[in-house]
Structures are given as structure tokens and as C-alpha cells.
A and B are shown apart, each in its own frame.
Chain A
Amino acid sequence: MMLRVLAFFAIAFSAITATPQALTDIEFQGRLKRLESELRCLVCQNQTLADSNATLAEDLRREVRALATSGKSDDEIKQYLVARYGDFVLYKPPLQRNTWLLWLGPFGLLLGGGFVWYAILRRRKRAAAEDDEDTGAGTRPDDAVARARQAIYEEP
């Protein structure tokens, strides 16, 4: 009888503890997977650690797993790899002095393009306004041809 009660409690207890254990394990695997997909395999270069079958990638996955199990944070693990392989291991480069052009360049180009677009629009508007002043209403096609001819042949 005593044994049965004990067994019951043992099973009940293990049922209670097993579920959170399994959950944290899934979370842990998910975390590893996410970390590995943010890190570059240095041998294949265009694959992440998670995707690569290279032996170095295997070793680095093992290292990442060991560090994560020992309680290191994601940033500490990344720092560990950056210290050995440089920023290149990170798929998302950090914003620092040698990468600001990479991060801000596209916005600069967008700004430049926007400026050119704005300038062209303004000039067109002004030209249209001048045309209206010259002829009263819209322009006749002959005038446009004459203007084009003038633009081509008579400007320096």
C-alpha cells in the first residue's frame, strides 16, 4: 500500500515537472536556432551557422551551445565569436565608425534623389508658368519645336 502511494506521488510529481522541463528545452532549442541563424559560417560565407554543414560550423554550433548552457547571454556569445572572427561573423553589422556609410548611405541616396526630384518638379512648374505668360494660354506645338531648336543650336 505504502509503495503504491509512493509510486502514485512519484508519477504525479514527474508529470508536473516534466512539462516545464520540456517547455524550457524547446525554448532553449529555439534560442540556439535563432542565434545560429544570426551568425555567419566563415567557410561558406553566404550561409548561416544554422544552415551550414562545414565542420567549422559544427564546431562553432557546439561552442555556441556550450556557452548558452553555461548561462551566457546572447550578446556575450556573439561577443565571444566577434573577438575571434571579427564583425564579419555577424549577419547584422553593428552601427559603428566603419559601418555608418553602410547604414546611413541608402538614406543619403534617398534624400539626394528626393532633392533632385523636387528640383526638377520646381523647374517644370516655373517653365510652365513662363509659357503661360508668353503665350497667354497653352503652347502651340510649333513653339515647342522652335524652343527645342533654340536649345540645341543656340546655347553655347
Chain B
Amino acid sequence: MKSWRLILPLAVFAVLLAFLWLGLSLDPREVPSPLIGKPAPAFALATLHEPAKTLTSDDMKGQVWLLNVWASWCVSCRTEHPLLMQLARANVVPIVGLDYKDKPADGRAWLAQNGDPYRVSIVDQDGRVGIDFGVYGVPETFVVDKQGVIRFKQIGPVTAESLDQKILPLVRQLQKS
């Protein structure tokens, strides 16, 4: 009876501590996307370099590809850019750039200055397609499989760690299937 009384508050405290500890490692800025496992939203957007041409979501069917949401005004896009350049040079997976809420001229200038890792870039000037993809913090990167289903979403800049541990293994696995 007596030991039970001593242990109970301790147990309650331990549970509380566990929850608080877990809370510390959670990032409240990361909102899990409801689009994982769902078909990527359909889009048809003008390309950045040839505005007369459009790219549609169906054009990418049949291959695994990355959609990288970026903008010339986006500061943290600069931190992930070297990694994207490396990835493009390795030629593992095509990257489509979505120039989000940006002036096309600014986007082109930015790519000319920093290098262009994208197979093709498309322009989403009013941010509508961004909303369809649930974009809320640029940069964001989506992994889309051969059937056009979104398999993974990276919120914030791609890091070497996320690339090696999540994105590339997933891409390889999807390419095999």
C-alpha cells in the first residue's frame, strides 16, 4: 500500500517527462502532408526557359522524378542548391523545378548565376499549383513514382543526410519496381 503511493506520482512524472522529451525532438514547423501516397495533383504550366512550351503532370508518367519547389527570392534554396547540382551531375533521377511565385526573368537570372540542376523548370507565378501540392515553405521537394504517386515530401532544404538516408534509397527502390 505504501510503496504504491510512492511509486504512483513517480510514474506519472515519468510519463510526463517522456511526453515532454518527445516534444523537444518534434519540429512543429513540419506539417505532415496528406498527399503522401496520393496521386500528384495535375498541372499544366509554362516552362521557365521556353514560355511557349508547357509541361503537364502526364509528361512525367513512367519515370521516378523529383519536384523541387524553389524561387529566386528563397534564401534557404541557396543552401540546398549545391546538393541539387551534384544530384543532377550524377544523373540518378530527373529533377523538375517549380519556380514558385517568382518573376520568370528573376528565376532565369538566378539559375544562370547559380547553375541549373533541373531537367525542366516550370513557372507557378500565382502559386495555384503550389497550393494544390500543399506547399507552405519553400524549398520543398517531392518524390513522385512511375505511376505519378507522391511518395515522400521534404519540407525545407534538402540536406546531405536526407538525400542519403531517405530520398536516394527511396528513388532507387521505386526505380526498380
Task: State in angstroms the CA–CA spacing of A88 and B101 once bound together.
Answer: 23
Closest residue of chain B to A62, judged by CB? B126
Task: Give the segment of B32-40, B114-122, B169-177 that binds chain A.
Answer: B32-40
Report 9 cross-chain contacts, Cβ distance below 8 Å, ordered by A residue. A42-B136, A43-B136, A45-B28, A55-B127, A59-B127, A63-B131, A83-B34, A84-B134, A85-B34
> CB of A71 within 8 A of chain B?
no
Task: State in angstroms the CA–CA spacing of A42 and B136 once bound together.
Answer: 6
Task: State in angstroms the CA–CA spacing of A42 and B30 once bound together.
Answer: 10
Beta-carbon contact of B32 and A86 below 8 Å: yes
Chain B CB within 10 A, most for which of A59, A63, A156 = A59
Contacts of A43 in B (CB 8 A): 136-137
Closest residue of chain B to A88, judged by CB? B31
Our count of residue pairs bridging A and B at CB distance below 8 angstroms stands at: 40
> B residues engaging A (CB < 8 A)?
2, 28-29, 31-35, 101, 126-128, 130-134, 136-137
Contacts of B2 in A (CB 8 A): 155-156
Beta-carbon contact of B136 and A56 below 8 Å: yes
Beta-carbon contact of B131 and A59 below 8 Å: yes
Contacts of A60 in B (CB 8 A): 131
Contact of B131 among A84, A88, A155 (CB under 8 A): A84
Contact of A84 among B29, B32, B132 (CB under 8 A): B132
Q: Give min CB distance, A56 to chain B, whole Å.
A: 6
Beta-carbon contact of A85 and B31 below 8 Å: yes
Q: Give min CB distance, B135 to chain A, whole Å.
A: 8
Knowing A155-B2, A156-B2, say if A84 contacts B28 (CB, 8 Å). Answer: no
Binary contact track A50-84/B, C-beta < 8 Å → 1, others 0: 00000110011001000000000000000000111
Contact of A82 among B29, B34, B131 (CB under 8 A): B34
Q: Give min CB distance, B5 to chain A, whole Å.
A: 11
Chain B CB within 10 A, most for which of A43, A56, A84 = A84
Beta-carbon contact of A42 and B34 below 8 Å: no
Beta-carbon contact of B127 and A86 below 8 Å: no
Knowing A55-B101, A155-B2, say if A45 contacts B127 (CB, 8 Å). Answer: no
Known: A42-B136, A86-B33. 11 other contacts (CB 8 A): A42-B31, A42-B137, A43-B137, A55-B127, A56-B136, A59-B131, A84-B131, A84-B133, A84-B134, A86-B34, A156-B2
Contacts of B131 in A (CB 8 A): 59-60, 63, 84
Beta-carbon contact of B101 and A86 below 8 Å: no
Q: Give min CB distance, A59 to chain B, whole Å.
A: 5
Closest residue of chain B to A54, judged by CB? B136
Task: State in angstroms the CA–CA spacing of A82 and B35 once bound together.
Answer: 10
Contacts of B128 in A (CB 8 A): 63
Knowing A82-B34, A86-B33, say if A56 contacts B28 (CB, 8 Å). Answer: no
Task: State in angstroms the CA–CA spacing of A64 and B147 once bound together.
Answer: 31
Task: State in angstroms the CA–CA spacing of A84 and B130 once bound together.
Answer: 10
Q: Give min CB distance, A69 to chain B, whole Å.
A: 16
Closest residue of chain B to A43, judged by CB? B136
Contacts of B32 in A (CB 8 A): 86
Q: Give min CB distance, A77 to chain B, whole Å.
A: 13
